[in-house]
Structure 1
Amino acid sequence: MRELSAATTVAAPPAVVWRVLTDTSAYGAWNPFIPELTGQLRVGQRLRVRIVPPGGRGMTFRPTVTAVEEERELAWLGRLGVPGLFDGTHSFTLTPRADGGTDLLQREVFRGVLVPLVAGTLRQTEAGFRAMNEALRSRAEDLAGRADATG
C-alpha cells in the first residue's frame, strides 16, 4: 500500500470550493493535473479522467464514483486491469474552518502488486495533487472575492 496526499487551506467557504471541484466541464480552463473529467458525479457512475502529472506522461482511466457528499467529500476507485493489480482510491475532503474558509485534502491510497514498481510515477502524481490544489485554491478564492464584491 502507498498513500499520497496534499492539503491546502482555501480562503473560501466549502460551498464555493465544492462548486469549483464539481464543475468538471471547466477543468480544462484551470486544472493542470486533471484537465479533463467527464461523467456524472454520482455513486456507482463511471468517469473518464485524464491526468497529466508534472514531468510525466498523461493517461486516461475510467474510475467508479464511490462517494459524493455535497460540500464534504468526492471519491472514486480506479483500477488497472483486475482488482489487486493496481487499485487507487482517490478522494477530496473539504472541512469547514472557523474563519469561514475550507481545509482541502486530496488523497489517494494505492494497493496492488504493481504499486512498488511505479514509485517514480507516484512522486509525479503527488506533485500533480499539489498543483491542482493550488489552482483550485486560487480559483475558489477568486470566485469568493467576486461574490463578496457584488454581494
Structure 2
Amino acid sequence: MTSSTGLPPLSSKGVFSASSSCVINAPREVVWEVLMDWKSYKEWNPFVRSQRITDARKNLLPDETPREGCYLYISPVNIPPSFESTWFPSSAFERITALDHENYRAAWVNIDMPHWLLNAERWQALVEVEGGKTRYETIEVFDGLLAYLIKVFVGNGLKRGFIAMAEGLKSRAEERYERGT
C-alpha cells in the first residue's frame, strides 16, 4: 500500500533516517530516465557518484540492467557531497528489493553487514503533481549497532548528500526536459 507521499510504509523506524524531496518541472518519465541512468550520475550527482550492477562478489556484470534481486555496488559516495574527491568517500553494497517502473519507485537494502550490525533500507519515488510536474521523494532508514556511529559521525553529511542528490536530479531532469531530450 502506498502512502500519500508515494513512498511505502517502511519496515523499520530505525535509529535515524536521511531524506529529501523536491518538485521538478518535468514529467515523471523524464525524471525516471535520469534517475535510472546510473552511468551518468558522475555528471550531475555530487553525492552518489556511481552505481553499478554486480555479482555477489562485487564484480561488474556485462548486463547492467537493474532488476529486483540484483546486487548494486554504490561507490564512491561522497560525504560531504562533492564533484571532487572528498576526505571521506564511502561505498555501499546493496540488493535491489523493488524496481517498479509502472509506479516509478525503487528500493534497496544494505547487505554488506549482518542486519543486527547495520540495516539500511533506501526508497526513491516519483509522484505526479499538478501542472505536469514531478515530486521526487527519497528516504533511507538506518538501524543496527553501527547506525548509532553513522548517525554521530556522518549523519549530517548523509542528510546533506540526500538534499544535494535531489537538487542535482531536479537540475538534470529540468535541463533534459527543456532541451526535449
- TM-score normalised per structure 2: 0.77
Matched, 1:79 2:111: yes
Shift of 1:101: 0.6
Taking the aligned partners of 1:98 and 1:36, their CA distance within structure 2 comes to: 32
Contact 1:14 1:101 in 2 (8 A): yes
Query: In the alignment, which of 14, 38, 50 is matched to residue 24 of structure 1?
Result: 38
Quote how far apart the aligned CAs of 1:56 are: 5.7
State whether residues 108 and 122 of structure 2, in contact with CA within 8 Å, keep that contact through their aligned partners in structure 1.
yes
Unaligned runs of 5+ in 1: none
Return the alpha-carbon distance in structure 1 between the equivalents of residues 136 and 143 of structure 2. Answer: 23
Distance 1:136 1:83, change over 3 A: same
Instruction: Quote the offset at 1:115 in angstroms.
Output: 1.4
- Relative to total residues, which structure has the larger helix share, 1 or 2? 1
Contact 1:56 1:124 in 2 (8 A): no
Corresponding position: 1:58 with 2:83: no
AA at the equivalent of 1:128:
G
Compare 53-62 and 108-117 and name the one that shifted more.
Answer: 53-62
Query: What letter corresponds to residue 62 of structure 1 in structure 2?
Result: F
Q: How does 1:96-115 map to 2 (within 5 A)?
A: 96-115=128-147
Distance 1:142 1:107 in 2: 24
- Distance in 2 (CA, whole Å) between partners of 1:113 and 1:56 is 24
> 1: CA distance between counterparts of 2:87 and 2:115?
25
Query: What is the CA–CA distance in structure 1 between the aligned matches of 2:144 and 2:176, rounded to whole Å?
Result: 40
Give the equivalent residue in structure 1 for 2:72: 47
Secondary structure (helix, strand or coil) at the match of 1:110 reads strand
Residue by residue over 1:40-86, the C-alpha shift from the partner in whole angstroms, topping out at 9 and shown as x without a partner, is: 42100001101112176111221000111115201110134212211
Q: Are 2:44 and 2:168, in contact at CA under 8 Å, matched by a contact in 1?
A: yes
Contact 1:14/1:94 (<8 A) preserved: yes
1:88-135 deviation digits (Å, cap 9, x = unpaired) = 101111101121010001110111122122223121011001001101
In 1: Cα distance, 2:43 partner to 2:149 partner: 33
Q: May I ask how many residue pairs the two structures share in their alignment?
A: 148
Q: Choose the corresponding residue for 1:131, options 164, 170, 181.
A: 164
Q: Give yes or no for contact 2:24–2:135 (8 Å, CA) kept in 1.
A: yes
**Cα shift readout 1:5-58 (whole Å, capped 9, x = no counterpart):** 111110001100100000011111111001111114210000110111217611
* Structure 2 residue 47 is matched with structure 1 residue 33: yes
Q: Which runs of 5+ in 2 are unaligned?
A: 1-13, 54-64, 81-85
The TM-score with structure 1 as length reference comes to 0.92
Code of the aligned partner of 2:136: L
CA distance 1:143–1:68, change in 2 (3 Å): same
